Structure 1
Amino acid sequence: MVNVGILGATGMVGQRFIQLLDKHPDFDITALAASERSAGKRYEDATTWYLDEAMPESVKDIEVCETKPEAMSNDVDILFSSLPTDFAAKIEPAFAQDYIVASNASAMRMVPDVPLVIPEVNPEFLGLIETQQKNRGWDGFIVTNPNCSTIALTLTLKPIYDAYNINKVYVSTMQAISGAGYNGVPSMAIVDNIIPYIGNEEEKMESETLQLLGSFEDGVVKDADFKLSASCHRVGVVDGHTEAVFVELDKDEDIDDIKQTMANFKGRPQELGLYSAPKNPVIVKEEEDRPQPRLDRSADGGMAVTVGRVRKDAAMDNSFKYVLVGHNTVRGAAGASVLNAELINKEIL
């Protein structure tokens, strides 16, 4: 068993980490870290539990430590980070001197020597770890996963990108309120309303997606060569991001072939049989009214992305469009980091 800890363990994503790691066959939670006000308390006493499944018994009596390297037990191999961006930028590098950090935070995602990874999409980017350790003199390292909306989009684009030539992608998101954290969106702001702006979300989608679909050669990542435009919006759904995607190819392609290409897609996690890997990363639905967040966000434990309404786009030549739903706090956050750690455990440790 690999001993793991969670940074930011009392927050919503931290709680999702605990839910996903409880009874994991390869990972054992031995450390939970949070703010100074939570340190020294039993986890159950330090935490307001937000998830609909009960707090696992295995973590209730763990004493929460402060989020700093000197407070962390030496008996930990991998740390999962769900820290706020500003704090993560300072503290994750401090931990990475000695620990492996699988981060869901955005602070280090676009740093040139830090791998930004979706295991089905670009597992070869883990090759940056050696460069990172050499550059920084660390014994540990940091691996990041992308933004929640980026993960869902990129998983669906990867089979298309590999099979065809993409010219342009337009995406319009309808993002769940849980993506902003429990206190992130006041009820008076979102009830009977749509908020047409999420800070830095569009920029993240546009830059991260192109990097993830890019190439890794001679220790350097080169972005994919197509144009991507995103418009991001917050809607009154608790969990599950919905995205309307428009893809322009360099020539006309059969729509049934496109559907099959997405439905048949598998990656390295499926080849390795990783514990958290969905059987099919992309599930294609034929019903005219699917996918829907309430019905499809939990597909394969929330680790698969569901696609529907795949159809030609009459407004643009050589184009098609579709709708996707992905679980933003599972596949889009904690589950993404866990799958990254499973890949690291299998291929690097």
Structure 2
Amino acid sequence: MAVRVGVLGATGAVGQRFIQLLDDHPTFELAAVTASESSVGRSYRDAAKWRVDTPIPDDVAEMEVVATEPDAVPDDLDLVFSSLPSSVAADVEPDFAEAGYVLSSNSSNLRMAEDVPLTIPEVNAEHLELIEVQRDERGWDGALVKNPNCSTITMTPTLAALDEFGLERVHVSTLQAVSGAGYSGVTSMEIIDNAIPHIGGEEEKMETESRKLLGEFDGSGVELHGADVSASCNRIPTIDGHLENVFAELADDPSVEDVAAAMEAYPGLDLPSAPEQLIHVFDDPLRPQPRLDRMTGEGMAVCAGGIQETAGGVKYNCLAHNTIRGAAGAAVLNGELLVEDGWV
């Protein structure tokens, strides 16, 4: 039986990725799309300026866009995906959860709330148990689950693989694609022939979210991982794919071969959107590259390369597709986990 789903904020950049990824999904049946008031009542085709690299699905194109309110969507939705701006989501998502809807959200609000699961299914699926704490504390019949920031999700699986060597400290510098800022986020005059050495709020997200994702769930909350994380975030003129330079200090002294083996052996999951191999490691020091490697595992894999030993640890590069694994695909995968584990 299909799981009926809706998408909040379906006309934006990440919302369109949701529509693309949900087309012909083996589990999910799209039954509702919402957007801002200016789009309500219009067909999705007319409301969305479709920019994704596959055609707009015919059945979705003629769907009527409804308001982003619990009373406006069908009451038989099993799961709701959210790609709302965080300022909007902060007010709307709790209303949906209180009304009994289960939400898998890409929005940044409440990611670090103590009772909200922040999950990468291959890394910390057990954190979904926080839903019980959340329902007890907030009195919700529904639930709210978050996926992390697009730069955090690129790095964190590789850190999870390194944790067996005693992860103590992380320094990361990012080279982030313009799509991470949305269609109107960075103008061409700003980014062409340029690099922007600051992305507001991004560094803090990487430094805090990664520690929550790697933390231990003790039955009532998550104890943050003890590693210190320091980030420097930069915008560069690539379209998709965040490339990151990571320096990890470790208690042990693994070889390059040990690190590569740990990353390649890091276990994946048997879920429809999960890649067969979560982390793909390149021997070629010139890889990964955004244009060549962002679609590895249909955009859901993390790529790593350039592994070298350094004083006290290792350095390497990692890459992921920021609007697929880093956004809509991450939320869809969380939705699949919610179904698999019986929360939906």
Place the TM-score, normalised by the shorter chain, in its bin. Answer: over 0.9
Q: Structure 1 residue 277 and structure 2 residue 274: aligned?
A: yes
Q: Which amino acid aligns with 2:117?
A: P
Task: Compute the TM-score of the two structures, normalised by the length of structure 1.
Answer: 0.96
Show CA shifts across 1:302-342 (max 9, x none). 000110111112xxx22211011100000000000000000
Q: Tell me, yes or no, if the aligned pair for 1:22 and 1:58 is still in contact at 8 Å.
A: no
Q: Which amino acid aligns with 1:344?
A: L
Residue in 1 that maps onto 2:303: 306
Residue in 1 that maps onto 2:291: 294
Separation (CA, whole Å) in 1 of partners of 2:53 and 2:143: 33
Residue in 1 that maps onto 2:60: 59
Q: Tell me, yes or no, if the aligned pair for 1:15 and 1:49 is still in contact at 8 Å.
A: yes
SS of residue paired to 1:37: helix
Q: Tell me, yes or no, if the aligned pair for 2:129 and 2:219 is still in contact at 8 Å.
A: no
* Long gaps (5+) in structure 1: none
Q: Which amino acid aligns with 1:337?
A: A
Q: CA deviation at 1:41?
A: 0.8
Residue in 1 that maps onto 2:265: 264
Q: Structure 1 residue 160 and structure 2 residue 154: aligned?
A: no
Separation (CA, whole Å) in 2 of partners of 1:93 and 1:233: 32
* Long gaps (5+) in structure 2: none
Q: CA deviation at 1:254?
A: 1.5
Separation (CA, whole Å) in 2 of partners of 1:167 and 1:95: 39
Q: CA deviation at 1:28?
A: 0.3
Q: CA deviation at 1:84?
A: 0.4
Q: Tell me, yes or no, if the aligned pair for 1:172 and 1:243 is still in contact at 8 Å.
A: yes
Q: CA deviation at 1:75?
A: 2.5
Q: Which amino acid aligns with 1:327?
A: H
Separation (CA, whole Å) in 1 of partners of 2:86 and 2:261: 38
Residue in 2 that maps onto 1:112: 114
Give every structure 1 segment of 4 or more consecutive aligned residues whose post-TM-superposition deviation is greater than 2 Å. Answer: none
Q: Which amino acid aligns with 1:284?
A: V
Aligned length: 341
Q: Structure 1 residue 169 and structure 2 residue 163: aligned?
A: no
Q: 2:143 aligns with which of 133, 141, 144?
A: 141
Separation (CA, whole Å) in 2 of partners of 1:139 and 1:145: 20
Residue in 1 that maps onto 2:326: 332
Show CA shifts across 1:21-61 (max 9, x none). 10001000000000111001111011100111111112011
Q: Which amino acid aligns with 2:232?
A: S
Separation (CA, whole Å) in 1 of partners of 2:84 and 2:95: 13
Residue in 2 that maps onto 1:126: 128
Q: Which amino acid aligns with 2:275?
A: P
Q: Tell me, yes or no, if the aligned pair for 1:253 and 1:318 is still in contact at 8 Å.
A: no
Show CA shifts across 1:194-231 (max 9, x none). 00010100000000001110100031110001111100
Q: Tell me, yes or no, if the aligned pair for 2:176 and 2:241 is still in contact at 8 Å.
A: yes
